[in-house]
Structure 1
Amino acid sequence: MNAYRRSLLLGVLLFPAYGFAAPEKLEITMWRGPKCKCCKDWATYLEKNGFIVKVNNDGNTEIRQKLGMPVQFGSCHTALINGYVIEGHVPAEEIRRLLAEKPKVLGLTVPAMPLGSPGMDGPEYKGKKDPYDVLIIDTKGKPSIYQSYRNLH
């Protein structure tokens, strides 16, 4: 084994982190009401799933309207990540999927606040789970089902 290969092997064994890039943390900005507990729980859930969450406590009605999310798909918080609007209790895996697929859409929503969705799954809900859909909203405001969460037992 020549000196170059020996030093390369030694480097990989002693400093493995230099050979691999750490996964990039995804930054998401969220607007919510200052007293909303489930919004805070959704932010905590996202952080546990590798996101950096920047929180604005000024409410979300104005920003939802400004970003173009139709009111009928509204929830208690609105977020923005890489140009996509995320409305309500959308699971982290669906946000990651959206970012990987990069469709030309407005964003994702879980309208209302279904029990069992991320942030609506704490002990105060006593294990209750409502079936729900994650909707993808196109640039004209038209919804379609992106992912169903129907078998939650």
Structure 2
Amino acid sequence: MNRRQFVLTTLGALALGRPALAAPHRIEVFKSPTCGCCSAWIAHMEDAGFAVEARDVDQGRLNEVKASVGLTPELASCHTGLIEGYVIEGHVPAEDVQRLLAERPDALGLSVPGMPIGSPGMEMDGRSDAYATLLIRKDGSTEVWARHG
């Protein structure tokens, strides 16, 4: 949204007695500079209204980020996002992140371990594997947050 659209939307909302559009949720994403599926997932998040700040890092730094937020290798994928106190690991659908931010569970965040075909950023010729988005509890345990495919 550009400045003109924002001003017009805000003025229109005020005139109608409605709240203006909320600022988009900002997510910082750590990824390899050469990973195409990470870039496709970022586009998926931007299309869903998230403001994404992508940080291209080498694999060593990416592993440090994952370890610093408490991710275990079993939960890892190719990129790691940080948003409003939560970690978003891998190809998590935007609607799962939106639900997380709406419900605000006492948790570390969400993960789609590995790189399942058909998940956002991993679309391939209409194929889709069944996969689950996992809620990562602060003690490291997980539970299914959503099922896809």
Superposition TM-score tier, normalisation by shorter sequence: 0.7 to 0.9
* Superposition deviation, residue 127 in structure 1: 1.1
Structure-1 separation of matches of 2:143 and 2:34: 31
Instruction: Say which is worse superposed, 134-143 or 53-62, in terms of deviation.
Output: 53-62
The 3-state SS of whatever aligns with 1:114 is coil
Structure-1 separation of matches of 2:64 and 2:129: 28
Q: Counterpart of 2:131?
A: 132
Structure-2 separation of matches of 1:16 and 1:51: 23
Within a 5 Å distance, the mapping from 1:14-93 to structure 2 comes to: 15-18=11-14, 19=17, 20-59=19-58, 60-93=62-95
* Superposition deviation, residue 136 in structure 1: 0.4
Q: Counterpart of 2:98?
A: 96
The 3-state SS of whatever aligns with 2:109 is strand
* Superposition deviation, residue 50 in structure 1: 0.2
Aligned residues: 133
Q: Counterpart of 1:11?
A: none
Structure-2 separation of matches of 1:80 and 1:148: 22
Q: Counterpart of 1:10?
A: none
Structure-2 separation of matches of 1:27 and 1:131: 28
Structure-2 separation of matches of 1:30 and 1:63: 10
The 3-state SS of whatever aligns with 1:64 is helix
Larger Rg: 1
Unmatched 5+ stretches in structure 1: 1-14
* Superposition deviation, residue 69 in structure 1: 1.1
RMSD over aligned Cα atoms: 1.1
Structure-1 separation of matches of 2:145 and 2:91: 14
Letter of the 1:84 counterpart = Y
Instruction: Say which is worse superposed, 134-143 or 54-63, in terms of deviation.
Output: 54-63
Structure 1 outlier segments of 4+, above 4 Å: none
Structure-1 separation of matches of 2:130 and 2:116: 7
Structure-2 separation of matches of 1:62 and 1:73: 14
- For normalisation by structure 2, the TM-score amounts to 0.86
Q: Counterpart of 1:4?
A: none
